[in-house]
Amino acid sequence: EAQVTQNPRYLITVTGKKLTVTCSQNMNHEYMSWYRQDPGLGLRQIYYSMNVEVTDKGDVPEGYKVSRKEKRNFPLILESPSPNQTSLYFCASSRLQQETQYFGPGTRLLVL
């Protein structure tokens, strides 16, 4: 089954404790992206990757890092989480930027 998986699905952490949210897709897609969803603000892109070892900032990259060492995986790293990073995070993948994006189920993060 074609899918995008994210882990963990739910996470409660404290300010400053480094965390990683994993994302994996099995569709051999080149384009992958991370979004955060906040009430009233819709989906805002954090980082995206056009291919292995090619990443770039989206609209709200501050406080986040990503890496793309393999085509299927695109982890999101929060080196020092802060309460304003409390949000719902989605990973997505597609063959090209302007084709159907397949979203993961989301990761709900609470930073205390």
Partner 1 sequence: GENVEQHPSTLSVQEGDSAVIKCTYSDSASNYFPWYKQELGKGPQLIIDIRSNVGEKKDQRIAVTLNKTAKHFSLHITETQPEDSAVYFCAAPVRGSTLGRLYFGRGTQLTVWP
| Least Cβ distance, residue 33 to partner 1 (angstroms) | 9
Binding of partner 1 by 63 (CB under 8 A):
no
7 binds partner 1 (CB under 8 A): no
If the CB atoms of residues 58 and 63 are measured against partner 1, the closer one turns out to be 58
The beta-strand segments (E) located in 1-112 are: 4-7, 10-13, 19-25, 31-38, 42-51, 54-57, 65-66, 76-78, 87-94, 102-103, 107-111
In angstroms, the CA 6 to CA 92 distance is 10
Residue 12 · residue 1 · CB < 8 Å: no
Nearer to partner 1 by Cβ, of 14 and 54: the residue is: 54
Q: Per rule CB under 8 A, is residue 25 in the interface with partner 1?
A: no
49 binds partner 1 (CB under 8 A): no
Q: Is 58 in the site for partner 1 (CB under 8 A)?
A: yes
Among left, alpha and beta (phi > 0; psi -120 to 50; other), residue 88 is beta
* Tokens standing for residue 66: 């990503």
Q: Is 103 in the site for partner 1 (CB under 8 A)?
A: yes
Which residues contact partner 1 (rule: CB under 8 A)?
Answer: 4, 35, 40-45, 48, 56, 58-59, 90, 92, 97-98, 100-101, 103-106
